Amino acid sequence: MTNLQDPIFHDEDKAREALEAIRWPNGPVCPHCGNVDADTMPVVEGKKHSHRAGLRYCNACKGQFTVTVGTVFERSKIPLSKWWLAMHLMGSSKKGMSAHQLWRMLGFGSYRTAWFMAHRIREAMKDMGAGPIGGEGKIVEADETYIGRTSTPRVSKQRGTRPYIKRKGPQSKNPVVALVERGGEVRMFHVENATASDVRDVLVRNVDRKSALHTDESRLYTETGKEFADHRTVRHSTKEYVRYEADGVIHSNTVENVFSVFKRGMTGVYQHCSEAHLHRYLSEFEFRYNRRTALGWNDTDRVADIAKGIEGKRLTYRRIGYA
């Protein structure tokens, strides 16, 4: 459990030093030219307005930088101690932390500032370049769900090209496909349409073909399941949720539990999410699930991992827009 009396949550120098220790474990690195010689990157001392704390000057490229340059924190006016608190709140809250709640608890700026701050933290939570999940002797569960409302009208086959929005049913919602390695990590994807071809594309890109695939009886997985080492299904339509067989237990309850936490968070905490930002919320819930206590993670570890994820990412207000 994180100690909220830790100086990084209250002291700007300690907050900066903690971030430097995580981002530069072997000494400072110039984000402009890649210089790693600490002797040629001294800290700039002085009392001018431009001489902010932690400012360094690189003699190799004649550039200035701090630990936040080249990260999602770059050009932020929010104190680093507030960033640490926000990362802790979002990393330790199982069902999320709304921007309004961040705004009230941290007491700064406006709701829009907190909203933008939360999205930048979600960008840091995004996992990059991971290999396929599963493998020989492992089980991967797959399922799809529908959430929110689509921002793009569907096209009716009966009415030609005239757009319409169906008021009820999955056609008016955003499809989300989730893949969970039993006892391991989850990956969630927002797809434009939950068709067999779209679901197959997600599966073959992210799951090792040597894995055993467990799903419900949906026809989305009937043909794709044949491409994996094994494909077992449970029939939810007949209220079958678990089946015991000689070689194992057949179910998709793990992925259903992932959706349960995700939907409770989206309905009870965030309440509304536009289609344009859904992938960021998926990254947030994915991050926390993959670093859950059952896998040996704690709040301190999660916050440190968010801090590691800030590097090499920029997210500007104009790029994400306001919704």
Tens of pLDDT, residue by residue over 96-127, are 999 999 999 999 889 999 999 999 999 999 98
**Hey, which CATH number is domain 139-290, 3.40.50.720, 3.30.420.10, 3.40.50.300, 2.40.110.10?**
3.30.420.10
What confidence score (pLDDT) does residue 12 get?
Answer: 95
pLDDT at 301 over 80: yes
Residue percentage of the chain with pLDDT more than 90: 77
Name which of 44-58, 90-104, 169-183 the model is least confident about: 44-58
What confidence score (pLDDT) does residue 121 get?
Answer: 97
Q: Are 281 and 273 in contact (CB under 8 A)?
A: yes
Residue percentage of the chain with pLDDT more than 70: 89
pTM: predicted TM-score of the whole model, two decimal places: 0.89
pLDDT bucket at 323, cuts 50 / 70 / 90: very low
pLDDT at 186 over 80: yes
The whole-number average pLDDT for the span 135-145 is 97
Give the residue from 162, 144, 78, 153 showing the smallest Cα distance to 116. Answer: 78
pLDDT at 224 over 90: yes
**Whole-number average pLDDT of the chain:** 90
Q: Are 282 and 189 in contact (CB under 8 A)?
A: yes
User: Position 88: which residue type?
Assistant: H
pLDDT at 49 over 80: no
Domain boundaries defined on the chain: 139-290
pLDDT bucket at 129, cuts 50 / 70 / 90: low
User: Position 229: which residue type?
Assistant: A
Residue 79, token pair as written in the block = 């104190």
Tokens 């059952």 -> residue? 294
Query: What ranges in 93-192 are assigned the alpha helix state H?
Result: 99-106, 111-125
